[in-house]
Structure 1
Amino acid sequence: MTTASGLSLERKFSWVYLINLIFYIVPLFTVDFVLWQYLSMTAALLAFLACYFWAYHCHRKQIHWPVAGIVLVAALITPVNPGSIAMFAYAGFFIGFAYTLRRYLLLMSLLITLLVLLDALLSIHWKLFLVMGIPIVLAVSFLGRAEQTKLRHRLAEKQSEDEIKQLAAMVERERIGRDLHDILGHTLSSVILKADLASKLLAHQQPEPARQQLAELSQIARDALSQVRQSVSGYKHQGLTAEVSKLLARLRDAGFQATLTGEVPALSNQQETAVILALTELVTNVMRHSKGDSCHLQFTQQNHNLHIAFSDNGPPVTIIEGNGLNGLRQRLAAIGATLALQQQPGLTAAIQLPLKEQR
């Protein structure tokens, strides 16, 4: 049975649960009945089974039909075989499983009232029909409530797991997007620079220097392809020291005088990745927008904090933070770092990273 909330009984156990029909079946072998009674009890059993499996397969909004069928069959056969109390118990189970608490209480009250009326109005050949029947029906209905609670909890856990997976997938997509922006933005700037330089050298009939620039362009493209592939499973690098050297070399190739002061620190892999991608974004912005001709990168450690300052000597410009800088701030925030931009008169990007989480 499937409910509107996504709950469903495990159908593979539906035949096993029919063992409770023993209260109905035992009298067939222990009491002498006439032929029409045997026929009527057999027909009632078949009708009950039809309603039982119908309840297992139907939607919650239609569950009242098979439940009503079970109650009707049980009520009609009770004067012949009071073991029909087992059928009433199944009705109680489905009511307990399928309905809200308020409706469950109402329907179970009506079901118990029906049992009392049957005992009072009919000649039932079982003195314990109510004494045993009512506790059995209530107990089985409680099992239905317990099954509903268990499956709701299981469904909530599954939904929670799905939400976590979706959130993780979203975070991973954002990471890949930021990484690709930083990696490709910087790389394409270098490709354009190398291509323009090679074109100028060829125009001045300097094939050897042009060939060297094209070879470097080819290597840059290969590196970019490797980094794009790596960004899918997590950005991999050669360490902060090696990446800083590459970035300074790119700046020099672009015509900047690039200098470094301070000792490049040893960081955790997560911190190194974030710092490398942040510096890559800053270098890319300088190559694209700076009107200066020199850059300076400085590393200092003070009071368990790492300070990274990257500056250029370009004229003051209006700082408009786009997707690149926004992504950079997000990436740094993930490792507890902050970014501040200052005009001095060139632009200085200052990163402060607490080192207490270093491993």
Structure 2
Amino acid sequence: MAITTDHTLVEKRRSFWDAGPLIFSIFYFFPLAFSWTQEGSVNLVAQLLIYLGFVWLYWQSIAKTGIALITLLSLMTLLCIVGSLATTGTSSLFGFVAFFCGFSLQGKYKVYGFFGLLISILFTSHFIIPAHTIYFLMPAICVSLGLFIFGWVTHRERVHRQLQRQSEQEIKRLGAVAERERIARDLHDLLGHSLSSIALKAELASKFAAAQAYEQAQSEALQVAELAREALSEVRQAVTGYHQLALDAQLHIMASRLKDKGIAVSLNLNAVEIDKEKEASLCFFAKEVCTNIIRHSDADKVSVQLQQTQQGISVEIKDNGSVKSIKEGNGLMGIRARLKECGGQLVYHTEQGGYFKAVIEVDL
């Protein structure tokens, strides 16, 4: 029989408050209130023992599932049937079994369990206490039906809440995975080119030293140190709180780096509205292009323009270098892929110097 294992009345362990519903078992003593003087001491003790036994079975059933739960529910039903010989108050106790059927059983077994309980009630009313059928049957059926439906609804609500929590946790997990992938990609974009250049320069320095060309070896070693410092600076910028600089701030930083290399920079930056992911893509585009200009171009003038139009937000970087052609390496390919993921594109040519443009569509 398929029975839930994750949605019992309590999720981990029983507590005092799990016994709260037993407050309604007070109806068990209603018949006794009207026949107190007519009851013998043996019958009174029997009623008390029946009630205490039922409470114990209820308490054991709270945190049980599977065959253990079925066994306890069967014992509770049997106790109600036998207890009807001592008092008709057991009509209220059948409802607790009905609640467990609606709450703890799965699918069609809920209905099977409830119908089994109804048969037990009918059997009790007709064969155990036929003289009190009217006073026993209707209350037992009405209470059991109401608590069965209540248990079923409670079960569905709890399953819904758990699925919602799982969905939220899955969203957080996927977000964390995406964030790790983004960080890995950012570090690759930041360090991939720099580390490749450092490795190449170090190999050249080693070869020059082996050939006793010490001046060339020293020059290459100095370039290695410069590349390492630049890479360290970029990593520090990225790691500081790992909050991406605003696009205009990033463009000002790159302009400052160009000026430090003796390149005149013209900035035309307009205010734009863009989300963080797209802004990060444009920031890395600007870093890659400006770094390539510093390392590979003989340009002495660069213009940078940031604007927002109906086509989207664009960053244009032009230089007056004498570049014949551009070979798209890992850096530009990475930027192109990043822009494509954000619904953008990369355009460049060398007709009148270097020209690079990144455009990302945004909702106006």
Q: In the alignment, is the contact (CA less than 8 A) between 1:189 and 1:287 conserved in 2?
A: no
Q: Who is 2:316 aligned against?
A: 308
- Aligned AA for 1:75? I
Q: In the alignment, is the contact (CA less than 8 A) between 1:95 and 1:107 conserved in 2?
A: yes
Q: In the alignment, is the contact (CA less than 8 A) between 2:344 and 2:359 conserved in 1?
A: yes
- Aligned AA for 2:333? L
Question: Does the C-alpha gap of structure 1 residues 333 and 155 become closer, same or farther in structure 2, counting only changes over 3 Å?
Answer: same
SS across alignment from 1:308 = strand
Q: Who is 1:339 aligned against?
A: 346
Question: Does the C-alpha gap of structure 1 residues 241 and 107 become closer, same or farther in structure 2, counting only changes over 3 Å?
Answer: closer
- Aligned AA for 2:169? D
Q: CA deviation at 1:260?
A: 6.4
**Alignment gaps of 5+ in structure 1:** none
| 2:215 counterpart (195, 204, 215) | 204
Q: CA deviation at 1:173?
A: 1.3
Q: Who is 2:253 aligned against?
A: 243
> Cα deviations across residues 167-200 of structure 1 (Å, max 9, x unaligned)?
2212211221122122223554676699899999
Question: Does the C-alpha gap of structure 1 residues 214 and 122 become closer, same or farther in structure 2, counting only changes over 3 Å?
Answer: closer
Q: Who is 1:160 aligned against?
A: 167
Q: Who is 2:101 aligned against?
A: 95
Q: Who is 1:128 aligned against?
A: 135
| 1:179 counterpart (182, 186, 190) | 186
1:226 equivalent in alignment to 2:236: yes
SS across alignment from 2:76 = helix
Q: CA deviation at 1:134?
A: 0.8
Q: CA deviation at 1:45?
A: 2.1
Q: In the alignment, is the contact (CA less than 8 A) between 2:43 and 2:86 conserved in 1?
A: yes
Q: Who is 1:52 aligned against?
A: 58
Q: In the alignment, is the contact (CA less than 8 A) between 2:4 and 2:105 conserved in 1?
A: no
- Aligned AA for 1:172? E
1:14 equivalent in alignment to 2:18: yes
**Separation in structure 1 between the aligned mates of residue 137 and residue 217 of structure 2, nearest angstrom:** 108
Q: CA deviation at 1:44?
A: 2.1
- With 141-150 and 17-26 compared, the bigger mean Cα shift is at 17-26
1:75 equivalent in alignment to 2:57: no
Q: CA deviation at 1:281?
A: 3.8
Q: Who is 2:122 aligned against?
A: 116
**Separation in structure 1 between the aligned mates of residue 165 and residue 115 of structure 2, nearest angstrom:** 34
Q: In the alignment, is the contact (CA less than 8 A) between 2:194 and 2:231 conserved in 1?
A: yes
Question: Does the C-alpha gap of structure 1 residues 16 and 340 become closer, same or farther in structure 2, counting only changes over 3 Å?
Answer: same
**Separation in structure 1 between the aligned mates of residue 222 and residue 334 of structure 2, nearest angstrom:** 36
SS across alignment from 2:96 = helix
> Cα deviations across residues 107-131 of structure 1 (Å, max 9, x unaligned)?
2222112211211112355341012
Q: In the alignment, is the contact (CA less than 8 A) between 1:240 and 1:272 conserved in 2?
A: no
**Separation in structure 2 between the aligned mates of residue 309 and residue 142 of structure 1, nearest angstrom:** 69
1:267 equivalent in alignment to 2:277: no
SS across alignment from 2:189 = helix
Q: In the alignment, is the contact (CA less than 8 A) between 1:309 and 1:349 conserved in 2?
A: yes
Question: Does the C-alpha gap of structure 1 residues 183 and 249 become closer, same or farther in structure 2, counting only changes over 3 Å?
Answer: farther
**Separation in structure 2 between the aligned mates of residue 123 and residue 303 of structure 1, nearest angstrom:** 86
- With 110-119 and 323-332 compared, the bigger mean Cα shift is at 323-332
Question: Does the C-alpha gap of structure 1 residues 328 and 259 become closer, same or farther in structure 2, counting only changes over 3 Å?
Answer: farther
- Aligned AA for 2:164? E
Q: CA deviation at 1:210?
A: 9.9
- Aligned AA for 1:245? A
Q: CA deviation at 1:9?
A: 1.7
Q: In the alignment, is the contact (CA less than 8 A) between 1:281 and 1:328 conserved in 2?
A: no
**Separation in structure 1 between the aligned mates of residue 123 and residue 40 of structure 2, nearest angstrom:** 26
Q: In the alignment, is the contact (CA less than 8 A) between 1:60 and 1:98 conserved in 2?
A: no
Question: Does the C-alpha gap of structure 1 residues 221 and 301 become closer, same or farther in structure 2, counting only changes over 3 Å?
Answer: closer
**Separation in structure 1 between the aligned mates of residue 194 and residue 259 of structure 2, nearest angstrom:** 13
**Separation in structure 1 between the aligned mates of residue 59 and residue 332 of structure 2, nearest angstrom:** 60
- Aligned AA for 2:345? T
- Please report the TM-score for the alignment, with normalisation by the length of structure 1: 0.75
Q: Percent identity?
A: 22
